[in-house]
C-alpha cells in the first residue's frame, strides 16, 4: 500500500526518518514517497497493459512539478483541467500529444493555449464548447481531436455527493440520451473531430461495477454511431479508482482491470485512463506538530499546526485520514489503519487545527496514543487532494513539500513565507 513504516519506533518514509526531515523543514510538511508513487503508477500501467492503455495522470490530485516529472519519466501522460495545469504539464516536460484537457468551462484563452501546445484530446462537455473549439481551431487552421464527455447515468455507492459525477443531474458532460444526436451534428464540423468518447463517473469509485455499467453503455453508443457511419476510435474511461485510506477498502488495479478488460479487449479502440488519487494518495503524508491539548466539555482536543487550509478533505467530504504519532517509543506502532483501531494507552480525541472555524478538524472522536505538546503526528494517505487543495486561508503560508527517494530526500516546494502571502497584491 505504501512505503511509510515504523523502524525502531520511528516513522520512516522509505529509508528516511520522518523526524529527521521535519527537523529541517519544520511543520506542517507534506512528505511523498517516490517509490510508492511509481509503484501505484506501475500497477495500473501493467494491469491495463493488455489494452495498451495510455495512462494520463490527473494533475489535480497532486501537481508538484517533481511528482509530474517522475511520472512523465515512467511513461505517463497527463489529464489537465485548466490552463494552469496545462502549464504545469508542459513545464514538467510532458509530451503534448499525451495530454487530455477536461473541464466544463474552458475559456478561449485556455483553449488557444492548448491548441498552440498541440495537445492530444479536448474532452468536450457541451455543444457550445464543441462549436467554440471548432471555431478557435479553424482560426489557427488546425484540426483537433475531441472526446465527448458522456454522462452515463450510473450509480456508485459510497462516493460522496460532492465528488459523484456520473449521474444525469451533474454539471459534467452530456446526457447519454443526447449524445447520439450530438455526434451526428458534430460530424459537420471542419476543425474539431469528435472521434473519441470520454467518461468520468466520480471519485473514488469503490467497486468495479459502475465502470462495467458505464463502459457497457458507452460501447452501445459507439456501436449505434458506427451503424450511422460515425466512427469512434478512442475511449477515455476517466479516473476515480479508489485508494487506501483504511487499507482494505479499494479494489486493486488488477481488480479494476479484470472487470474492464474483457469489455474492451476485442475492440479496436485506443484506451485512455485518467487516474489521480489511486497513484498519489498513498504516496503522501502530512506531518504536523501538537501545539496544545485541552478539554472542552466531555471532549479532548489535540490542537496541531496543520489545519483545514492544509488538508481540507475531512471538513469538505467528512473524509477519514488515519493519524498516528511519528515517534511511538511511548506507545506502539499501529497494527492497521482502520477507523476503529484502539490501543492500550489511548484516548478519544478530536485532532483540530488553529483556523477560526469549527469545521477545522483533521479527525473526530479518534482513539490515539496520549499526545503532548511538541509531539509529531502523521496524517496518512494525504498525497491526493491534500496540498493540491490547500489555501492561504487565515493568512497561513502553505506547507512545504518533500520528496523521498530511497535514503535521499529533497524539498520540492519550500514553505511559503509571509511575503508570499502578499506577493501578488498591489
Ligand X SMILES: Cc1ncc(COP(=O)(O)O)c(C=O)c1O
Nearer to ligand X, 58 or 195 (CB): 58
Among 31, 102, 174, 308, binds ligand X (CB under 6 A): 102
d(CA 323, CA 366): 9
The size of the chain, in residues, is 426
d(CA 153, CA 217) in angstroms, rounded, equals 9
203 lies in the binding site for ligand X (CB under 6 A): yes
Q: Which of residues 260-299 bind ligand X (CB under 6 A)?
A: 274-278
Measured distance CA(360)–CA(173) in Å, rounded: 33
In the region spanning residues 40 to 59, those forming contacts with ligand X, defined by CB under 6 A, are 58
5 CB burial (10 A radius; 0-12, 13-18, 19+) = exposed
Asked if 353 interacts with ligand X (CB under 6 A), we say no
Does residue number 61 form part of the binding site for ligand X (CB under 6 A)? yes
**Binding residues with ligand X: total (CB under 6 A):** 18
- 204: cis peptide before it, omega within 30°? yes
- What span, in angstroms and rounded, lies between the C-alpha atoms of 338 and 361? 18
**CB 332 to ligand X: min, Å:** 33
Among residues 204, 334, 369, 383, the one that binds ligand X under rule CB under 6 A: 204
Nearest of 80, 15, 70 to residue 40 by alpha carbon: 70
Q: Which of 40, 43, 200, 321 binds ligand X (CB under 6 A)?
A: 200
State the minimum distance, in angstroms, from the CB of residue 273 to ligand X: 9
Q: Which is nearer to ligand X, 3 or 58 (CB)?
A: 58
**Least spacing, CB of residue 179 vs ligand X, in Å:** 16
* C-alpha to C-alpha distance for 143 and 182, rounded to whole angstroms: 19
Cell numbers describing residue 209: 461495477
Taking the least distance from each CB to ligand X, the nearer of 256 and 409 is: 256
Q: Give the nearer residue to ligand X in terms of CB position, either 72 or 149.
A: 149
Which is closer to ligand X, CB of 325 or CB of 383?
383
Residues involved in catalysis:
356
Sign of CA dihedral 127, 130, 131, 132: positive
The grid cell for 394 is 487565515
C-alpha cell at 295: 478539554
Cα→Cα distances 141→116, 121, 240, Å? 11, 17, 35
Q: Which of residues 2, 79, 85, 125 is near ligand X by CB under 6 A?
A: 79
What is the greatest pairwise CA distance in the chain?
A: 71
Site string for ligand X, 221-260 (x = CB under 6 A): -----------------xxxx-------------------
Binding status of residue 62 toward ligand X by CB under 6 A: no
> Would you count residue 33 as binding ligand X (CB under 6 A)?
no
Taking the complex as a whole, how short is the minimal distance between the CB of residue 106 and ligand X, in angstroms?
Answer: 12
Q: Binding mask 170-199 vs ligand X (x if CB under 6 A, - otherwise)?
A: ------------------------------
79/85 with CB nearer ligand X: 79
List 300's β-bridge partners, or say none: 295
Rounded distance between C-alpha atoms, residue 288 and residue 325, angstroms: 10
Q: How far apart are the first and last CA of the chain?
A: 46
Based on CB atoms, which residue is closest to ligand X, 162 or 342?
162
Interface residues with ligand X (CB under 6 A)?
58, 60-61, 79, 102, 200, 203-204, 238-241, 274-278, 384
Amino acid at each position: 500500500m505504501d512505503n511509510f513504516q515504523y523502524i525502531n519506533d520511528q516513522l520512516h518514509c522509505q529509508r528516511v526518518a520522518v523526524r529527521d526531515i521535519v527537523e529541517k523543514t519544520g511543520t506542517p510538511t507534506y512528505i511523498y514517497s517516490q517509490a510508492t508513487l511509481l509503484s501505484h503508477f506501475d500497477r495500473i500501467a501493467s494491469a491495463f497493459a493488455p489494452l495498451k492503455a495510455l495512462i494520463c495522470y490527473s494533475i489535480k490530485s497532486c501537481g508538484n512539478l517533481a511528482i509530474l516529472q517522475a511520472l512523465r519519466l515512467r511513461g505517463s501522460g497527463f489529464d489537465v483541467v485548466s490552463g494552469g495545469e496545462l502549464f504545469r504539464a508542459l513545464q514538467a516536460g510532458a509530451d503534448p500529444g499525451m495530454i487530455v484537457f477536461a473541464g466544463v468551462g474552458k475559456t478561449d484563452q485556455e483553449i488557444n493555449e492548448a491548441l498552440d501546445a498541440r495537445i492530444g484530446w479536448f474532452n468536450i462537455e457541451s455543444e457550445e464548447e464543441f462549436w467554440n473549439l471548432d471555431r478557435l481551431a479553424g482560426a489557427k487552421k488546425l484540426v483537433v481531436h475531441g472526446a465527448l464527455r458522456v454522462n452515463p447515468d450510473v450509480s456508485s455507492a459510497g462516493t460522496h455527493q460532492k465528488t459523484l459525477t456520473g449521474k444525469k443531474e451533474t454539471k459534467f458532460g452530456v446526457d447519454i440520451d443526447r449524445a447520439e444526436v450530438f455526434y451526428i451534428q458534430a460530424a459537420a464540423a471542419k476543425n474539431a473531430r469528435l472521434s473519441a468518447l470520454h467518461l468520468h463517473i466520480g471519485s473514488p469509485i469503490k467497486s468495479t461495477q459502475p465502470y462495467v455499467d458505464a463502459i457497457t453503455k458507452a460501447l452501445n453508443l459507439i456501436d449505434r454511431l458506427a451503424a450511422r457511419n460515425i466512427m469512434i476510435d478512442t475511449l477515455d474511461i476517466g479516473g476515480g479508482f479508489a485508494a487506501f485510506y483504511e487499507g482494505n477498502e479499494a479494489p486493486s488495479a488488477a481488480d479494476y482491470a479484470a472487470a474492464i478488460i474483457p469489455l474492451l479487449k476485442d475492440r479496436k479502440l485506443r484506451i485512455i485512463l485518467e487516474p489521480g488519487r489511486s497513484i498519489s494518495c498513498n504516496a503522501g503524508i502530512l506531518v504536523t506538530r501538537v501545539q496544545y491539548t485541552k478539554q472542552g466539555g466531555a471532549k479532548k482536543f489535540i490542537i496541531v499546526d496543520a489545519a483545514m487550509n492544509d488538508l481540507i478533505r475531512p471538513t469538505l467530504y467528512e473524509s477519514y485520514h488515519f493519524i498516528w504519532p511519528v515517534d511511538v517509543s511511548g506507545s506502539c506502532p499501529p497494527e492497521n489503519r482502520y477507523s476503529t483501531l484502539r490501543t492500550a494507552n489511548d484516548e478519544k480525541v478530536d485532532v483540530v487545527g488553529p483556523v477560526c472555524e469549527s469545521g477545522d478538524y483533521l479527525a473526530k472522536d479518534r482513539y490515539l496514543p496520549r499526545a503532548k505538546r511538541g509531539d509529531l503526528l502523521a496524517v496518512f494517505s494525504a498525497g491526493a487532494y491534500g496540498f493540491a487543495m490547500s489555501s492561504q486561508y487565515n493568512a497561513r503560508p502553505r506547507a512545504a513539500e518533500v520528496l523521498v527517494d530511497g535514503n535521499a530526500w529533497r524539498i520540492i516546494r519550500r514553505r511559503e513565507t509571509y511575503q508570499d502571502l502578499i506577493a501578488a497584491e498591489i
